[in-house]
Amino acid sequence: MTAPVAMFGAALRRAARGDGASLILLDRQGALMREYDAGTWSADRRAGDRSLVDRCRKYTIDLGCGPGRLAAALAGAGRPVLGVDISPQAVRFARLRGVPALLADALGPLPDEGRWHSALLADGNIGIGGDPVRLLRRTGRLLRPGGRLLVEVDPPGHGSWQGDVALSDGRSVSDAFAWAFVGADQIAAIAAAAGLRVLESWTEAGRWFVDLRG
């Protein structure tokens, strides 16, 4: 077995070389749940990113920043940002883009708690830790009063799910880890359980997002 973080980092390195960098998310029975292209995370911009970047205010923390695609867009727009990721390779690539990035767990201690104007959970990162209520509650504590928690969710009708998953690169399978999915029509109830409310929801380029406030 391979650590998920190591498999993720290897996919980012393949993407940086221009090689195939697909990752498959499997459930506990080994059935395919999602397929990802690490090249999408490493690109300069993904369709739909602009709507997220435009809604960020002042100081933004990007949780699960990966190789820094969104954080770099924010920095390029002159907005202070800190990327956070548990993958050393992701943090390295983010820093190579000129983005301040911290090697840390989104659920662990983070700098300037209670002072951030905006926080991002994009590219499926609502799944971090496998417990969306816990993640949203914790992320909400990072924000200053009136701060924005901008979250990407699945399209309506996809429902919500949480449990153990594994990654596969087509050659090997990673150790299991906890993950979750949240649909756009489920996020209001999950946010409410975390003490948050949906201020706005929108869609762009086939992606769905919400703006959560305390």
Share of the chain above pLDDT 70, in %: 100
pTM: 0.96
Q: Where are the alpha helices (DSSP H) in the chain?
A: 4-17, 38-42, 49-55, 69-76, 88-96, 132-140, 187-193
Query: In angstroms, rounded to a whole number, what is the distance separating the alpha carbons of residues 183 and 209?
Result: 10
Using the predicted structure, report yes or no on whether residue 33 has a pLDDT greater than 80. Answer: yes
Could you report the per-residue pLDDT of 88-133, keeping only the tens digit for each? 999 999 999 999 999 999 999 999 999 999 999 999 999 999 999 9
> Is the distance from CB of 200 to CB of 54 less than 8 angstroms?
no
Q: Can you tell me the mean pLDDT for 2-30?
A: 92
pLDDT at 18: 83
Each residue's pLDDT tens digit, 179-212: 999 999 999 999 999 999 999 999 999 999 999 9
